[in-house]
Structure 1
Amino acid sequence: MTELYIKNPLIEQRADPWIYKHSDGFYYFTGSVPEYDRIELRRSETIQGFADAEGITIWRKHETGLMSANIWAPELHHIEGKWYVYYAAAHTSETRDGLFDHRMFVLENASANPLEGEWVEKGQVVTKWESFALDATTFEHKGQRYYVWAQKDPAIPGNSNLYISLMENPWTLTGEQVCISVPEYDWEKIGYLVNEGAAILKRNGRIFMTYSASATDHNYAMGLLTADEDSDLLDPDSWVKSPLPVFTTSEANGQYGPGHNSFTVSEDGLVDILVYHARSYKEIVGDPLYDPNRHARVQVIRWNEDGTPNFGVPRADHPMISKT
């Protein structure tokens, strides 16, 4: 039996939270900072330890041009002995305001500890369109590395769809780029037509891909795509979308707009943990994107008898003792 003592919120004012447990025994955390001007990393031997861990700035936005505004949703990955951060950034110039015209970029670090050493800009991840693109993640399966991201297809109404592609290296796509999900259900189209923020969990012979949909207020919610582990992941028909959201606002628990999640495991590796952000209030003044109080939170994932994840409801803000 495993006991987890984790307080929510884990880290205040950190949206799009990403926690990765590495083979060195440490957890690593990153997420969007309220100023959207830099990328920070934290390191801790425990998940709860992130609450007191120092945030180390590893990169700051450029003054103008590419990568000069709205630095969003960084993710930290360890690939073939090196560290990579995937993030989205907008661009500004004297003649163009591109605050919401994001592209995707990659940083690389060869140090054993990603809080040390030099982070090198590997440039933009180029896709088949030069259009709004963000929220990249990557995963390995059966010896191949995949890249999943959200992008605006100029030919499709809406704000962003989910795409998947093979990778030639950690910053370059290769082969066909395939659309696997577009906003189609009513709950995916509140305020904006959005599918974004994908995260991968491989369990029980299947690949589960969560994502987030709708505007970033209390309507924000998580959806789920599922593929068999032996299927062709580049075939859209391999991915089955759940018609209902799998993680939504809980008025009873005072949790609003949960989403943009990642996955990690307990210290002993036995318990799967959902990492996500949510607000503790519903009414927002102005643009929700500039409300800083999307806090990083965590909770245990339960598993249904059919082998599918049960995310439950966002728990209230208080210390938790979770026994599994």
Structure 2
Amino acid sequence: MNKDNYIHTPYNDEWIAQRADPFVYRHTDGTCYFTASVPAYDRIILRAANDLGGLVHAEEKTLWVRHESGPQSIHIWAPEIHYLFGGWYIYYAAGDKDDIWNIRPYVLHCKGQNPMKDEWEELGMMQAADSDEFSFHAFSLDATVFEHRGEWYYIWAEKTGVGRQISNLYIGKMAAANKLCTDQVLLTTPDYDWERVDFWVNEGPAILKHDGKIFLTFSASATGACYCMGMMYIDENADLLDSHAWTKLRHSVLKTDEEKGIYGPGHNCFVKAEDGVTDLCVYHARPYDEIIGDPLYDPNRHARIMKVTYDEKGFPVFVYQKVEETEYL
């Protein structure tokens, strides 16, 4: 469907068009960076601006293009840019033209301190801990990283099982920007009905810290209108590698709203608003549900943005907002 042939509502105009799996990073100097999956799934792009509003019309630079054959030659997905261990890194997933679902996680490194101007180099696949016999041997993607009390953690989705495989989320502690130092720990597997529509999927992890808790949002089910967001949480004083210390909510926290014209929301990230206090959720969704062919190849998953509020227990609340209510950008 053409992106102009849907029913417009006050809620479903995009923030940045045709950019799925959006990721926004605000650096310590205040500069905002934006990257995402492009419809052709063939490159990694980056935008930079002094504020979030500036990202909409910022020049988009191609940092890296897929290989012509072999690993990293198709399905370049879900890049995230982070600054850790003293440098800039991009985490992304890629497949092989000769085996298109042979998806693995990869890492790019910026040779300088200016990610928009300096050269980027490939570091190859993310490396498991030396003692880990399981990680990154099957379909693996959607990695995110975060810091907690001076240590860095890596969360990713990986499929397991035989036949029609299941996508789970795992966590590990990082020894370096491209290597783990602990064995994988299973965080969540698709337990509930809303995680099992068409495919059994947990993917797209994102971290939000608030009021003594660490929240982990993730996406579930197939990539059409059934795509939705779930959430887990853990006390900030708990062992993040103790799977029993995490709690998953029984129901999804963001899903399709036909009345508002928002379909298949998910694969989000979090960033502070310009006030440095307000939390924003950046996610993708379509403005329609009638898709011809595989939803994965429909280009109109647009990046959108909403303000995060908190309930009386300190848990994040996700509510679609009218476009004119996003002036906090």
Q: TM-score, normalised by structure 1?
A: 0.93
Aligned to 1:63: 68
Aligned to 2:177: 170
The question of whether the paired residues in 2 share the 8 Å contact of 1:221 and 1:245 is answered with yes
Matching residue's letter, 2:279: D
2:321 aligns with one of 297, 305, 315: 315
Please tell me whether residue 85 in structure 1 is matched to residue 85 in structure 2: no
The question of whether the paired residues in 2 share the 8 Å contact of 1:16 and 1:260 is answered with yes
Name the SS of the counterpart of 1:315 in structure 2.
coil
| CA distance in structure 2 between the aligned counterparts of 1:13 and 1:225, rounded to whole angstroms | 28
The question of whether the paired residues in 2 share the 8 Å contact of 1:7 and 1:319 is answered with no
> Cα distance, 1:320 vs. partner?
2.9
Please tell me whether residue 211 in structure 1 is matched to residue 225 in structure 2: no
Aligned to 2:20: 15
Please tell me whether residue 120 in structure 1 is matched to residue 121 in structure 2: yes
Aligned to 1:263: 270
| CA distance in structure 1 between the aligned counterparts of 2:25 and 2:221, rounded to whole angstroms | 26
Name the SS of the counterpart of 1:284 in structure 2.
coil
Name the SS of the counterpart of 2:24 in structure 1.
strand
> Cα distance, 1:173 vs. partner?
1.1
Aligned to 1:190: 197
Name the SS of the counterpart of 1:247 in structure 2.
coil
Aligned to 1:105: 106
Name the SS of the counterpart of 2:184 in structure 1.
strand
The question of whether the paired residues in 2 share the 8 Å contact of 1:150 and 1:196 is answered with yes
| CA distance in structure 1 between the aligned counterparts of 2:234 and 2:126, rounded to whole angstroms | 25
The question of whether the paired residues in 1 share the 8 Å contact of 2:207 and 2:270 is answered with yes
Please tell me whether residue 220 in structure 1 is matched to residue 235 in structure 2: no
1:152 aligns with one of 147, 159, 179: 159
The question of whether the paired residues in 1 share the 8 Å contact of 2:92 and 2:143 is answered with yes
Please tell me whether residue 300 in structure 1 is matched to residue 307 in structure 2: yes
The question of whether the paired residues in 1 share the 8 Å contact of 2:201 and 2:222 is answered with yes
Deviation track 1:202-260 (CA, whole Å, cap 9, x = no partner) reads 11111100000000000000000101111111111011000000011111110000000
Matching residue's letter, 1:212: S
* CA gap 1:167/1:321 in 2 versus in 1, 3 angstroms: closer
Aligned to 2:288: 281
Deviation track 1:78-110 (CA, whole Å, cap 9, x = no partner) reads 013210000000012xxxx32122000000114
CA RMSD in angstroms, aligned pairs only: 1.8
The question of whether the paired residues in 2 share the 8 Å contact of 1:10 and 1:48 is answered with no
The question of whether the paired residues in 2 share the 8 Å contact of 1:253 and 1:315 is answered with no
* CA gap 1:254/1:271 in 2 versus in 1, 3 angstroms: same
> Cα distance, 1:8 vs. partner?
4.2
1:75 aligns with one of 80, 91, 111: 80
2:54 aligns with one of 49, 61, 72: 49
> Cα distance, 1:322 vs. partner?
5.2
| CA distance in structure 2 between the aligned counterparts of 1:152 and 1:321, rounded to whole angstroms | 37
> Cα distance, 1:131 vs. partner?
0.5
> Cα distance, 1:111 vs. partner?
2.2
> Cα distance, 1:24 vs. partner?
1.8
> Cα distance, 1:118 vs. partner?
1.2
The question of whether the paired residues in 2 share the 8 Å contact of 1:275 and 1:298 is answered with yes
Aligned to 1:239: 246
* CA gap 1:240/1:115 in 2 versus in 1, 3 angstroms: same
* Unpaired runs of at least 5, structure 2: 1-10, 129-133
| CA distance in structure 2 between the aligned counterparts of 1:272 and 1:187, rounded to whole angstroms | 26
| CA distance in structure 2 between the aligned counterparts of 1:203 and 1:233, rounded to whole angstroms | 15
* CA gap 1:234/1:157 in 2 versus in 1, 3 angstroms: farther
Aligned to 1:3: none
Matching residue's letter, 2:30: G
> Cα distance, 1:113 vs. partner?
1.9
* Unpaired runs of at least 5, structure 1: 1-5
| CA distance in structure 1 between the aligned counterparts of 2:101 and 2:59, rounded to whole angstroms | 30
Deviates most, 212-221 or 108-117:
108-117
Number of residues paired by the alignment?
313
Name the SS of the counterpart of 1:187 in structure 2.
helix
> Cα distance, 1:157 vs. partner?
6.2
